[in-house]
Structure 1
Amino acid sequence: MSDVDFSKLRRALVIKLRHHGDVLLSSPVLSVLKAAAPGCEVDALVYADTAPMLAGHPALSALHVIDRAWKRLGPLAQARAELGLLRALRARNYDLVIHLTEHRRGAWLARLLGPCWSVAPRQKGRGRFWRGSFSHFYSQPGNALRHTVERNLDALRVLGLHPEPAARRLTMVPGAEAGARVDALLRDAGLAAGGFIHLHPASRWLFKCWPAESMAALADALHQRGHALVLSAAPDPRERELVAAIRARSQAPLVDFSGQLSLRELAALTARARLFVGVDSAPMHIAAAVGTPAVALFGPSGDKEWGPWMTPHRVVASALHPCRPCGLDGCGGGKVSDCLVTLPVARVLAACEELLTS
């Protein structure tokens, strides 16, 4: 049994210094902790660019950020920014710090903030400094069948909290402003909420992406069945190039919002879609967080660890490549994944139809 008395917690800090999808997959930790300690103010610390994934979370009291751009300000300005963050965190006087990654900053913060309790993943080879920085450790076995959400929640289980399944849902709040802008964009495009399928074909990791000709063929097939289609992508030039290639190969009238949406606006768009179709990426997790049925295409990454969480979904992955999930950045590290290149359009279309008719 843990010695943590949740009824007496005043303030807790959850640290998640990773990419957008990873941060969103930590959102149930905030919900479960707040439910167990209603009188506790739950804060989070994330990178500034990932803050929209947790902004507006109903369990969150304060959202602190580390801006990766601080490194470009020069040593003195960076030191001032870091000191300002530390002062803001120390002013909160945390009773509990939950560190959800192996980032060494978490160990320093656990020591500098002086909470009564602190928890982090057990790390081999980290030595006495890491081991002496935290009061509790949770195991992180290399189990490809365990979802990342459950791994995050293990940080609470080691403290004695065992959440019910319904409490483990993802949470992302688009907000009224994002919703209003998306409603205006849809209205201008002649679309209504629930009247379109959302296609997000890209990822920052292009080896996770389905070929443009395959996504174009899927778009044509869905259009022929009477579905309106909306495309989205990040402003990144490589993602925009993929979308341009899809549009060049498709005969469907695609509404293209690529590069036009913030993360919260993307969430508002997905929340209004009848179906989301995409690859293993943060937008797929956003679909799960807003409760939109999702068809997720998986190649080298593991769908058991990273698949859509607690929303109606279909995972489509190659049955011809027993080597997947390999975790490589394309076959042989060549940035092209055969297990995605050979994924049949017919299988993805069938998955879409199953969810559309269920």
Structure 2
Amino acid sequence: MTVLALRALGLGDALTGVPALRGLKRLYPDRSLVLAGSDPVSSWLQRLGVVDEVLATDGLAGPPPGRSVGPHTAVNLHGRGPQSHRLLLDGSPDELIALDCPDAGFRSTTVWRADEHEVERWCRVVRDAGGSCSPEDLRLDVPSTPSDAVLVHPGAASVARQWPPERWVAVVTALQEAGRRVMVTGGPAERELCGLISKPTGCEDVSGLHDLDSLAELVAGAALLISGDTGVAHLATAVGTASVTLFGPTPPQWWGPAIDPNLHTVLYHGTEPGDPHADRPDPALLSITVQDVLAAVSPPD
């Protein structure tokens, strides 16, 4: 019988689900673990041995993934429902492991908790089913070549989590004046944003040049990553690269680094969650100053 886990989300979300996936492999060592998830992230996790197979799934659209795998246990690591629960139930699983969701007609003793770290939430779902996992399972073994580069990643999926470009320019300028080598990273859709930082500073711009495998190797080998609350920050946590992460609107106690506090510095001046889908930078994010970031990068002796 197959174990089908649904987590059809982006890089950061997928990485926070890795401990739960490893817990499922321990719980069902003799079964194939299939991840219904988004590519290229899901296939990358398969290459790293986190899952056995991938069933490419575009969010919650399309037919129920369970119809393609025969007899199976379905595990909802995607959300609290009801849509994700219904998608899995429509695949006729022999068993569903998921959070309690009366609206989907599914009851469980494992209930949603709003004020909970994302890693712990999905670990709890698997532990309640009998599996063993913890934040320590976040770690990924990625090949790398060590370098002295400081990576600056200015982009994020929503404008609410994007620190202003002119502040990134000030940070990069100060780092270069201090003799640091700086590289700006980003996906193909972020090349224009990265150009706003690389052109006035003359730093190396590698935005749009890396697939996920080579980006992971770049991050794993870097001396430091500075970014907002986005997928590449979770990648730094997974590969053990020192990081400085600027948070807002989402509090770091929900999405911040869950391991190695000595490696990761979190900057957050908020008092309550903001709108993660807003069309302007969150006020808590804007309250982080250039000097805050530079102090985090080079703390006083």
TM-score by length of 2: 0.87
- Three-state SS of the structure 1 residue aligned to 2:129 is coil
- Three-state SS of the structure 1 residue aligned to 2:4 is strand
Which structure 2 residue ranges, 5 or more long, are not aligned? none
Contact 2:22-2:133 at 8 Å conserved across structures: no
* Structural RMSD (CA): 2.8
Contact 1:137-1:155 at 8 Å conserved across structures: no
Q: Which residue of 1 aligns with 2:232?
A: 283
1:165 offset after TM fit, Å?
Answer: 5.2
Written as runs of structure 1 = structure 2, the 5 A alignment for 1:57-68 is: 57-67=48-58
Match of 1:88 among 64, 68, 87: 68
1:53 offset after TM fit, Å?
Answer: 5.1
Relative to structure 1, the CA distance from residue 59 to residue 336 in structure 2 (aligned partners, 3 Å threshold; closer, same or farther) is closer
Match of 1:241 among 192, 199, 214: 192
Match of 1:150 among 90, 97, 120: 120
Contact 1:24-1:170 at 8 Å conserved across structures: no
Q: After superposition, what is the alpha-carbon deviation per residue over 1:101-136, rounded to whole angstroms, capped at 9, x for unaligned?
A: 226254343353432x32112235x1xxx224x7x4
Match of 1:131 among 101, 105, 111: 105
The structure where helix makes up a greater share of residues is 1
In 1, distance between residues paired with 2:218 and 2:281?
A: 29
1:138 offset after TM fit, Å?
Answer: 2.0
* Identity fraction in percent: 24
Q: Which residue of 1 aligns with 2:176?
A: 223
Instruction: Confirm or deny that 1:161 pairs with 2:138.
Output: no
Letter in 2 for 1:325: P
1:334 offset after TM fit, Å?
Answer: 4.9
In 1, distance between residues paired with 2:156 and 2:197?
A: 14
Instruction: Confirm or deny that 1:109 pairs with 2:88.
Output: yes
In 1, distance between residues paired with 2:122 and 2:299?
A: 31
Structure label with greater radius of gyration: 1
Letter in 1 for 2:163: W
1:67 offset after TM fit, Å?
Answer: 4.2
Q: Which residue of 2 aligns with 1:75?
A: none
Q: After superposition, what is the alpha-carbon deviation per residue over 1:157-197, rounded to whole angstroms, capped at 9, x for unaligned?
A: 2213353553x3244x65x7xx6xxxxxxxxxxxx622211
Written as runs of structure 1 = structure 2, the 5 A alignment for 1:299-338 is: 299-311=248-260, 312-318=263-269, 322=271, 324-329=272-277, 333-338=278-283
In 1, distance between residues paired with 2:28 and 2:66?
A: 25
TM-score by length of 1: 0.74
Letter in 1 for 2:114: G
Instruction: Confirm or deny that 1:254 pairs with 2:203.
Output: yes
Match of 1:48 among 39, 42, 48: 39
1:273 offset after TM fit, Å?
Answer: 0.4
Relative to structure 1, the CA distance from residue 138 to residue 98 in structure 2 (aligned partners, 3 Å threshold; closer, same or farther) is same
Moved runs in structure 1, 4+ residues, more than 6 A?
none
Equivalences, count? 297
Q: Which residue of 2 aligns with 1:140?
A: 112
Contact 1:97-1:118 at 8 Å conserved across structures: yes
Letter in 1 for 2:213: R
1:22 offset after TM fit, Å?
Answer: 1.1
Contact 1:206-1:335 at 8 Å conserved across structures: yes
In 1, distance between residues paired with 2:120 and 2:134?
A: 12
Relative to structure 1, the CA distance from residue 98 to residue 327 in structure 2 (aligned partners, 3 Å threshold; closer, same or farther) is same
Relative to structure 1, the CA distance from residue 123 to residue 327 in structure 2 (aligned partners, 3 Å threshold; closer, same or farther) is farther
- Three-state SS of the structure 2 residue aligned to 1:54 is helix
In 2, distance between residues paired with 1:105 and 1:343?
A: 36
1:28 offset after TM fit, Å?
Answer: 0.9
In 2, distance between residues paired with 1:268 and 1:306?
A: 23
Q: Which residue of 1 aligns with 2:98?
A: 120
In 2, distance between residues paired with 1:165 and 1:243?
A: 32
In 1, distance between residues paired with 2:36 and 2:299?
A: 39
Written as runs of structure 1 = structure 2, the 5 A alignment for 1:70-89 is: 82=63, 87-89=67-69
Contact 2:163-2:281 at 8 Å conserved across structures: no
1:271 offset after TM fit, Å?
Answer: 0.6
Q: Which residue of 1 aligns with 2:286?
A: 341
Q: Which residue of 1 aligns with 2:297?
A: 352
Contact 1:198-1:276 at 8 Å conserved across structures: yes
Which structure 1 residue ranges, 5 or more long, are not aligned? 1-9, 72-77, 180-191
In 2, distance between residues paired with 1:46 and 1:349?
A: 37
Match of 2:29 among 38, 57, 71: 38
Q: Which residue of 1 aligns with 2:8?
A: 17
